[in-house]
Structures are given as C-alpha cells and as structure tokens.
Structure 1
Amino acid sequence: MNVPAHDGYHFNVMRRAIDLIDDADPKLSLNELAEKMNMSPAHFQRVFTQWVGVSPKRYQQYLALGQAKDMLAERFTTLDTAHELGLSGTGRLYDLFLRWEAMSPGEFARKGEGLTVYWGWFDSPFGLSLVMGTQKGICGIGFANETTEEATMGDLMSRWPKAAFVEDPMMLRPWVLNAFGAGDQAEEKTPLYMIGAPFQIKVWEALLQIPSGHVTTYSEIAEAIGHPKAVRAVGTAVGRNPVSFLIPCHRALRKSGGLGGYHWGLPVKRAILAWESARVDA
C-alpha cells in the first residue's frame, strides 16, 4: 500500500524528472524534459522549481559527475565545527528537526526479539521508499528504484531477523511527512530509533552532525569518533546505516572526491546530494 508522504502529484513529477535527468546524456533541454513529462515547459518549470528550489537546468548542473569533488573542495565539514554550521542559516534544513535515541547493546544482541517493527511504502523525492519504525521512531528507510521492492524489504527485515513486522503505513505517516515533506516547517522533531552495534551507532551519530548541503570524508568520521585508523570499518558502518537520508550516509565521500559506495545505488546518492545542495543554495 502506497501512502504519499506529501502531495503525490509533486512527488511523481519529481521522481520521474530525476530519473530522466540522471539518465540523460547529453543534458536535456527544458522543452525536451517537459515533453517527456507530458507537460508544458512553463508548467513543468514551475512545479520542478517549487519542489527543488532551482530550475531544471540548474539541477542538472548539480547532478554533474564532478559535483562531488566540488562539494568536497567548497563544502567540506570537519565534525568539530559541524554543529555550529548546522545551526546557521539554511544549512540546517531537516537536520535540526530530528531527535534520536539508540537501542542498548543488549537489545541489539537479541536481533529484534520482542520488538514490533511497523512498515509501509511511501513516495519520496528519490523514488519509492520503504519506511520502518517502532513506537519510539523511524528505524529504517530504504529506496527501491535501483533494486526491487522485494530486495529492499528483505534487506531491511534482515537487520532485525527476530522482530515482528506489521504493515501499518498510517502509523508511520506523520513521521514520513516530516521527513520527506515538511521537515523544515515541522512543529515537532521526527524521532529516530537507531538499532545497531555500538560502533555503528557512533558512526551514525557522527553522520547526524553533517549539515545539509555539506559533505565530509570517511577518514574525518574515523577521526571524530576516536578511531583514526578504522577508516574501512567506518565505511562499512556507513554502508550499513538502516535509516537512509535522515541519517545522512550520502554525505560521506572519499578523500579523492569520489562518491564512494551507496547501499541503495549511486544514482540515488547523487540525486540526494544534488537535491540538498540546490535547496541550500536556493
């Protein structure tokens, strides 16, 4: 059951447009994009700009392959100053509208035994998303565009194999609305319930300090959590982050400026980075 987290029309336009832009080589003109979307150029530009904050032409520039290197050069965040940056201007976006708590190591060791996890499918700016949560908050977000719905479901369920899974999108809908639709206008913070090993939790907490529109490196995260030589382990923990987008593993890059990996597909990572950069600059 799909329950739109925001105006379904805008989500569907954005999802299709992002796919078209990401796959296009060479870049598509406004008229070409509008024609593929079965819309007039003026109407498409208005809807697109309303959601992303910039024009389709500008967004295509953010999706360029060199954008990651540019971000690393211009918007590199040391985690010592990230909190200050996150509190300034539009850089905060969604980040200040989250609150989180972590499952205890003992609870994690039980692999979800005794835990009820609710789930539902939702439209998002980055394609169809699977959202999972407990009574305490969102504990999982996965994207299905680059995989399949079955693979995404199996992936998240395997994180907590002894939990009881119950389909209940309406229970999750207010949190998802904040996460994908109105996070920067929400009256209450979106709760996260971080279910992972202690080392993973440290890495995910570090990721939460990186403001929207900024990036850092795996080695910087390793330094920040007190394990400077554990870059490979940090990379693994980043990749195992179950709450994509809200715990922003997409903001971790290689020192070289390469995107690194992304559990739900590099096109999704590029789209999220471009979307955040565009909204910050706008």
Structure 2
Amino acid sequence: MNPQADRPTSVSSVYQTEAQRWQAVCTRDARADGAFFYGVSTTGIFCRPSCASRLPRREHVAFFATAQAARAAGLRECKRCRPGGLPRELAIVERACAVLDADPQARITLAQLSDAVHVSPFHLQRLFTRVVGVSPRQYQAAHRGAALRDALQRGERVTRAALDAGFNSPSRLYENAASELGMAPSAYRNKGAGLVVHYACASTPLGQVLVAATEKGICHIAFGDAADSLVGELRRTLAHAQLIEDDARIAPFVAQIDAYLHGGRETFDLPLDVAATAFRQRVWDALRRIPYGETRSYTQIAEALGAPRAVRAVASACAANPVALAIPCHRVVQKRGALAGYRWGLSRKEVLLRTEAQRAGATGADALGEGAKPAKLDDVA
C-alpha cells in the first residue's frame, strides 16, 4: 500500500501561514508534527504542535521550521513532547523494524509484533506510524513490493516472483498490484507492456518539461533542454508501453506546473502514480512536507525519519524521484547549504530555490542555508 494515497498531496501547505500553525497548536493537530515547532517566550521552551501542555497565549508564541532553529533562538526542549527526538520511542520502533526485516516475506500481525517489542498494539501502531511514516502493515507491504519489483526486473515469471515475495497466491498479488507496483506486475516486468501512457511536452522558464500520466495519475515529470531527448528517455523507461502524445489530456497538469513556475501557485494538486520502496516513500513524503521557500539538508531529512545514518540513502531517494516539483527534491541541500546534485541540472535547482525564497518573502541566505551562494534568475533554457 502506498502511504501517499492515505495522506494529503500537499501536507506542508496546510501549515504555511502563522494563522494555520496557531490553529494546529490550538487543536493539538498531530498531523502537523514535523512540519514546524512552536516556542513560548515566557517559559523559554519549544514544543511539537500536538504537545498536551497548557496552551500558551498567542502573543508569546513564535514558530520555527526546525528544532535546530528553535534551539538557536535560545529555547529548551519540552520534556513532555520531546520535540528534539524520541530516544526511547525510536528504540521501540527500531526493534519492531528489526523483527519485520528479519523475514520480509512473513506476514506478521500487529498483535505478534507488539508481543515481540513488549508494548500494546494500540501504542505500537501510533508510535510506528508517527516515527516511520507508514503503519507496520504498510511497511510489510512495501517490503513485498520491493522484493516483487526486484524479481520481475530479473525476468522471473509473475507467479514465482509473487510467491517468493510473500504473496500467498497470484490472486492476492493482483488485488494489491496497483498500490504496491503502480501498475500490473506483468506490465512492470515488461517495461510497461500493455500500459497506456499519455504524455506531452511544453516550454517553461526552466526549459522543456515532459509530463506523462497513466489512467491513475502522473508517473513522470522531467525537465530538459530539448523535447526529443525527454521523449527518448521516457521511451527507454517504458520501452514496451503504448505511449500516446496527447496535449489536451496533459494540459491541466502542465498548467499547474506553468502556474507554479510563474508564481501563480505554491503547491500541486496532482494525482501521482509512482511506486517506491518503504524508505523512498518515507523520504518523498518528508520532501513534500518542506514548506515552500524553505530547504532542508540531507542530514535533517535522515534525522526526521529516525535514521540519522541514512544520509546517502536519502540522497539516493532524492535522485530517484521520477516527478520533478510534485515531489520537491530540489528543496534538499547539503549540510552547509551547498546545492549538491539535481537530476534535472543544478542551474534549474538554483533558480527554483531562489525564486521560491523571493516569493515566500525570505532572504536568499535563509532559504538556501548557511554557505549557499546566490543564484541568478536567468532562464535556464
């Protein structure tokens, strides 16, 4: 199951303004945890939005994008909600993940998992979902999906690949194929064989953009200097799919991208049809929580996922992003603010960050991070 299907496509947009953030604090909205933190000047403490502590007066509250920013302002962590980290809870989740990882093909119930880590099923479900970003059941499903994708890419027959990946029967596989692969298993193995994909190219301030979609949603957004090369890349990726150039069908999606690049919108309302491993799904979800006009480092993303040593894996997930802008991997930079790599070119990343920062009313240094160099707003194309 793809956890993105169960969450809003633009979570960060709900908490962009101070009014929206204050409302989240007043309602103790757990969905806002990680999107921002709030500090109280009278106590010198900062908290998560869902903290159960007594509600402060609005005039004493300031908002921060990261726990590091709150600490830099001289605030201490709340001992009740522990906004800077959850060491005990993380240890519980790590043990649960170890149980699930020991036999990825096994179907472990929530009750069995809770017995293994010695906490109640209800507490484990809430804790695992909050820390990992997906439920234990979704975590197992992603493992099966990853094993299935690997087997199909090696050319194994669908039935054998399904059984080896932990599906009890081919019928069970096809019931879950759309959510775990993004397309039918045979179509995935055969590079889109039997799949109909509509696509179109258009000119933008960042050069040519190609948008491709299945009947479920967007599966590919890419920027380049020439439409022919973008189409060629799509044909190699989905070599056996039926590709249909269809400007009219793709036009509403292109219009959103155009409005975004010209400052007409800050978020997207695009249905996505992309498949990923559990970890990549978590990274991509974290990227979509980065507010417009702000950035995070690869290290910050890894820490937010409870996997501080997985910096390289975070970078790999960013590089594998198939849908530019819709999953804003351009908002991830190196620890000291350097712009690192970008699948569609560093010059485009530079323009996107500078433009977003200016339109969000932030300074270039605040948006790009310490040590980042200013960008020029020249067209890339």
Tell me the TM-score range normalised by the shorter chain: 0.5 to 0.7
8 Å Cα contact 1:219-1:228 kept in structure 2: yes
After TM superposition, the structure 1 = structure 2 runs for residues 1-282 of structure 1, keeping only pairs within 5 Å, are 80-82=33-35, 104-107=179-182, 110=188, 111-145=191-225, 148-181=226-259, 184=265, 189-281=269-361
Q: Distance in 2 between matches of 1:222 and 1:185?
A: 25
Cα shift readout 1:78-125 (whole Å, capped 9, x = no counterpart): x9532689xxxxx9xxxxxxxxxx953344662434332211111223
8 Å Cα contact 2:222-2:344 kept in structure 1: yes
Between stretches 260-269 and 118-127, larger displacement belongs to 118-127
How many angstroms does 1:131 deviate by? Answer: 1.1
How many angstroms does 1:225 deviate by? Answer: 3.0
Q: Distance in 1 between matches of 2:193 and 2:310?
A: 30
Between stretches 167-176 and 157-166, larger displacement belongs to 157-166
Secondary structure of the 2:276 match is: coil
Q: Distance in 2 between matches of 1:83 and 1:136?
A: 32
Q: Which has the higher contact order (CA 8 A, sep 6+)?
A: 1
How many angstroms does 1:245 deviate by? Answer: 1.5
Secondary structure of the 1:140 match is: strand
1:31 corresponds to: none
How many angstroms does 1:236 deviate by? Answer: 1.3
Q: Distance in 1 between matches of 2:310 and 2:178?
A: 23
AA aligned to 1:234 is: V
AA aligned to 1:155 is: E
AA aligned to 1:257 is: G
AA aligned to 2:350 is: R
AA aligned to 2:231 is: M
Secondary structure of the 2:308 match is: coil
Residues 119 and 264 of structure 1, relative CA distance in 2, 3 Å threshold: same
Secondary structure of the 1:194 match is: coil
Q: Distance in 2 between matches of 1:84 and 1:244?
A: 28
Q: Distance in 1 between matches of 2:326 and 2:359?
A: 16
Q: Distance in 2 between matches of 1:244 and 1:112?
A: 21
8 Å Cα contact 1:114-1:163 kept in structure 2: yes
How many angstroms does 1:246 deviate by? Answer: 1.9
8 Å Cα contact 1:219-1:231 kept in structure 2: yes
Cα shift readout 1:58-85 (whole Å, capped 9, x = no counterpart): xxxxxxxxxxxxxxxxxxxxx9532689
8 Å Cα contact 1:103-1:195 kept in structure 2: no
The count of corresponding residues between Structure 1 and Structure 2 is: 187
Secondary structure of the 2:273 match is: strand
AA aligned to 1:149 is: A
Q: Distance in 2 between matches of 1:237 and 1:193?
A: 16
Q: Distance in 2 between matches of 1:185 and 1:224?
A: 23
Q: Distance in 2 between matches of 1:160 and 1:203?
A: 24
- Give the TM-score of the pair, scaled to structure 2: 0.44
Residues 149 and 176 of structure 1, relative CA distance in 2, 3 Å threshold: closer
AA aligned to 1:201 is: Q
Secondary structure of the 1:241 match is: coil
- Give the TM-score of the pair, scaled to structure 1: 0.57
Residues 223 and 103 of structure 1, relative CA distance in 2, 3 Å threshold: farther
8 Å Cα contact 2:218-2:273 kept in structure 1: yes
Point out where structure 1 has 5 or more consecutive residues left out of the alignment.
1-78, 86-90, 92-101
Residues 106 and 129 of structure 1, relative CA distance in 2, 3 Å threshold: closer
Q: Distance in 2 between matches of 1:230 and 1:157?
A: 32
Point out where structure 2 has 5 or more consecutive residues left out of the alignment.
1-31, 39-64, 66-176, 363-381
